[in-house]
Structure 1
C-alpha cells in the first residue's frame, strides 16, 4: 500500500474513513509482529506494566509542578508520541517519495500548532479540576473537623462519620490526614469515670484563710458523653480495617498515648505502621486474628483487663517492651514472623502462649510472670544469622509462683532458648515444668 502526504490532504471524508479502516486492518495483521520486533517476544505484559507505572509517576510529578514546566512536558510528550507513531506507521506503510506541496506543509504546521494548543488547554483544565477537588476536600474536611469540636455529643458523632466519608472519597495523603484526625481525637485527655455522664464542668475552689490573698478557682471542662464518640471512632476504624468497599488497611495508625476503652480490632488488617506505644486499654482489648503487615508497637502500653491476641499474625516486628498486662494475656496460636520483644513486660494475670510460633525467636528478658504462663506446643525459632544466630531469651525473667509450662514444644531452637538455670539445673524454679530439663521436642 502506497500513500502520499498530498493525497491524504485532499481525499473526501468517506475515503479517509476507508483509509482508517485499512490502517486498522494492517495494524491488526502486523501489529503483533512489529511489537515483538521492537520490544522482544513475550515482553508485552512487562512493557504495558512499565508504561502504566510511568503514567502514574508522571501524573504525581505534574500535580506539584508549576504550570509552565507542566505545559512544556506535555508538549514534549506529545511530540514524542507523534514521532513514535510516525516510526511505527512508517514500518508498516510504504509512503510515497513525492515532494509535499507547500499547502500540505502549511496544513501540517497548523495541525501541530493546534495540537500544542490542545496540550496547553488540557494541562490548564487538569490543573483547574485539581484545584476544584482540593477546594472541595478542604471545605468538607474543615466542616467535619468543626463537628468533632462541637460540645453536643450528637454533632461530634456526626463529625466522626463525616470525617470517615471524606477519607473514603480521598486517597493518599488526604485520606491519611483524615485518619490522623480521628486517631488524634483518641489521644486527647480522657477520664473514663466521666466519659458516660452529662457533666461538662467541674469547679474546685481554693480558700486561703487569714492570708490576705484572694481565693482561687480551678475550672475543669469535660466533653459530654465522650465515651460514645470515642467508641464510635474505634468502630469506624475497625470496620475499615476489615474487608469492605473502602479499606484503610494501607494507612498508618498512630494511637500513641491514647486512651482506648473496650476496643475490638478482631480480624482487622494493619498493612502499614500500627503504633500503640504508651496507650492505655481499659475494658477488654480484642485483637483476635488481627494481621499486622508491618511493625506493631505496643511498648509501654497498659492493658487493665484481658488482652486477646489469639491467632494474631505479626508479619513485621512485634514490640511489647515494658508492656503491662494487668488481666490475662492471650497469645494462643499467634504467629510472630520476625523477632518478638517482650523484654521487661509484666504479666500480672495468666499469660497464654499455647501453640504460639516465634519464627525468629523472642526476647522475654526480665519479664515478670505473676500468675502462671503456658508455652506448651510452642515453636521457638531463631534469627537466621549464619555468624551469630539469636534465639529466644528469658534472661532475668521472674516466673512468680504460678505454674509455668514449657511442655511438648514443637521446636526448641537452635540455638535453644536461654534461661538463668541452663548452667545449673538446680536453680530451675519449682513452678516451672517440665522438671526434666530441657523439654522434649515433639516428633
Structure 2
C-alpha cells in the first residue's frame, strides 16, 4: 500500500504538474491528523492553564472555556498557515500550466519559422528570419538554438554570382538580412535581448558583403573556411573570446579597423586573393596572433598603428605574392614576431615607425624578392 501511494505521488520527469493522491485517501488522513493535532493542543493548553490556576492563592479551578478558546485560536492559526500553503501550491500549479502552454506556443513558433526558412520563395524566407529572431528574443532558454539556426543558414551552399547556375533570386537579400539581424543584437551588451554572450559558428559560411561593425562578441566566434566576397566590415568590433578565421578565403575588401581582439586570433592558412584590401589599421591584439602559412596575393594589407600585446605574432611560412604589407607605426609589445620561412615575392613590407619593446623580430630562412624596409635594428636577409 505504501509503495503504491509513493509511486502515485511521484511525478514523471518532464511534467509540469505532479501526480496527486486520491481524495478518498487524503480526506481521512487529513481528518485524523487534524483530530490528533487538536487533541495535543487541547491537552497542552489544559496543562498550561492548570499550572497557572494552581499557582494562584487560593488555588482556582481550571476554566475550560479559556482552554477551549486557546485551542481553537491555535488551530485557527495553523489552519490559516495551511490555507496559505495550499494557495501557494495552487499558484505553483497554475504557473506550471502557464509555463507548459508558453513552451508549447514557443515550440510551434519555432517549427513555423524553420519551415519558412526552408521555403522556395525569398519573401517567405525573409519572414522566417524575422520570426526566428523575434523568437530568440522571447525564448531565452533556447536562444542559442535560434542563433545556431540562423548561422546554419549562412553555412548552406550559396552562389553569389547572379549569373551562376546555382544562384537563387533573392537569396542575397535573405543572407544580408540575417547578418543585419545578428549585428543589431550585438550592439548593446547590457540589453535584455542582446546576443553578445552567445557563440557563433560560421564555419564554411559564405558572406557576400555585410557588416558586423561595432559589434560585441563575448562568446567564441568561428569563421574557419568561410568565403568572403565583396566588402565585409568588422570595424570597431570587440571580440572578447577566441576567434578562428583559419583557412578562410577573402576575395574582396575586409575592414578590421580599430577592432579589439581580446583573445587568441587564428588566421592560419587564410588566403587573401588578388585585389583584396585588408584593413587592420589601429586594431588592438591582446592574445596570440597566428597568420602562419597564410597567403597574400597581390593585395594591400594594412596593420598601421596596430598594437600587438600578446605572447606571439606568427607569420611563419606565409607567402606574400606582390602584396603591400604595412606595419607603419605599429607597436609590438609581444615577446616574438616571426616571419620564419616566409616568402616575399615582388612585394613590400614596411615597418616605418614601428616599435618593438621587450621582444625580437625573426626572419630566419625567409625568402625575399621584394623589399623590406623601415626596420632599422633588423638587417634584411641576403637577397632582400
Distance 1:304 1:317 in 2: 24
Report deviation, 1:307: 1.5
Residue in structure 2 matched with residue 364 of structure 1 by the alignment: 315
Whether contact under 8 Å (1:351, 1:369) holds in the other structure is: no
Decide whether aligned partners of structure 1 residues 258 and 309 sit closer, same or farther in structure 2, where only a CA change above 3 A counts: same
Partner SS for 2:102: helix
Partner SS for 2:304: coil
- Once the two structures are superposed, residues 215-239 of structure 1 have per-residue CA deviations (whole angstroms, 9 ceiling, x without a partner) of xxxxxx8644312211111122122
Residue in structure 2 matched with residue 438 of structure 1 by the alignment: 378
Distance 1:284 1:187 in 2: 18
Report deviation, 1:344: 0.9
Report deviation, 1:165: 1.3
Distance 2:138 2:268 in 1: 37
- Residue 374 of structure 1: which of 326, 334, 348 is its match? 326
- Residue 195 of structure 2: which of 248, 266, 269 is its match? 248
- Once the two structures are superposed, residues 367-426 of structure 1 have per-residue CA deviations (whole angstroms, 9 ceiling, x without a partner) of 1222121112112122xxxxxxx522221112222221112223x14221222179xxxx
- Residue 283 of structure 2: which of 334, 337, 341 is its match? 334
Distance 1:112 1:310 in 2: 65
Tell me the TM-score normalised to structure 2 length. Answer: 0.75
- Once the two structures are superposed, residues 181-218 of structure 1 have per-residue CA deviations (whole angstroms, 9 ceiling, x without a partner) of 11111111111224xx7x9xx7xxxxxxxxxxxxxxxx
Residue in structure 1 matched with residue 39 of structure 2 by the alignment: none
Whether contact under 8 Å (1:307, 1:330) holds in the other structure is: yes
Residue in structure 2 matched with residue 302 of structure 1 by the alignment: 249
Partner SS for 2:210: strand
Residue in structure 1 matched with residue 5 of structure 2 by the alignment: none
Distance 1:165 1:68 in 2: 32
Whether contact under 8 Å (1:276, 1:298) holds in the other structure is: yes
Distance 2:351 2:368 in 1: 12
Residue in structure 2 matched with residue 189 of structure 1 by the alignment: 157
Residue in structure 1 matched with residue 177 of structure 2 by the alignment: 232
- Once the two structures are superposed, residues 63-100 of structure 1 have per-residue CA deviations (whole angstroms, 9 ceiling, x without a partner) of 9797559xxxxxxxxxxxxxxxxxxxxxxxxxxxx878
- Residue 348 of structure 2: which of 403, 406, 411 is its match? 403
Gaps of 5+ in 1: 1-62, 70-97, 203-220, 383-389
Report deviation, 1:338: 1.1
Gaps of 5+ in 2: 1-12, 20-47, 50-66, 380-384
Decide whether aligned partners of structure 1 residues 272 and 64 sit closer, same or farther in structure 2, where only a CA change above 3 A counts: farther
Residue in structure 1 matched with residue 235 of structure 2 by the alignment: 288
- Residue 81 of structure 2: which of 112, 116, 121 is its match? 112
Decide whether aligned partners of structure 1 residues 362 and 399 sit closer, same or farther in structure 2, where only a CA change above 3 A counts: same
Distance 1:234 1:430 in 2: 39
- Once the two structures are superposed, residues 244-276 of structure 1 have per-residue CA deviations (whole angstroms, 9 ceiling, x without a partner) of 773222221111101111121111111111111
Residue in structure 1 matched with residue 108 of structure 2 by the alignment: 139
Partner SS for 1:107: helix
Report deviation, 1:435: 6.5
- Residue 167 of structure 1: which of 131, 136, 139 is its match? 136
Whether contact under 8 Å (1:151, 1:224) holds in the other structure is: no
Whether contact under 8 Å (1:343, 1:363) holds in the other structure is: yes
- Once the two structures are superposed, residues 162-192 of structure 1 have per-residue CA deviations (whole angstroms, 9 ceiling, x without a partner) of 11111122214x1111111111111111112
2:129 pairs with 1:180: no
Number of residue-to-residue matches in the alignment: 313
Report deviation, 1:429: 6.4
- Once the two structures are superposed, residues 88-117 of structure 1 have per-residue CA deviations (whole angstroms, 9 ceiling, x without a partner) of xxxxxxxxxx87822232123213322332
Partner SS for 2:343: coil
Residue in structure 2 matched with residue 313 of structure 1 by the alignment: 260
Report deviation, 1:343: 0.8
Partner SS for 2:91: helix
Coordinate RMSD, CA, aligned: 2.7
Whether contact under 8 Å (2:245, 2:268) holds in the other structure is: yes
Distance 1:430 1:436 in 2: 17
Greater Rg by CA: 2
Decide whether aligned partners of structure 1 residues 435 and 163 sit closer, same or farther in structure 2, where only a CA change above 3 A counts: closer
Report deviation, 1:336: 0.6
Partner SS for 1:333: coil
Residue in structure 1 matched with residue 226 of structure 2 by the alignment: 279
2:218 pairs with 1:268: no
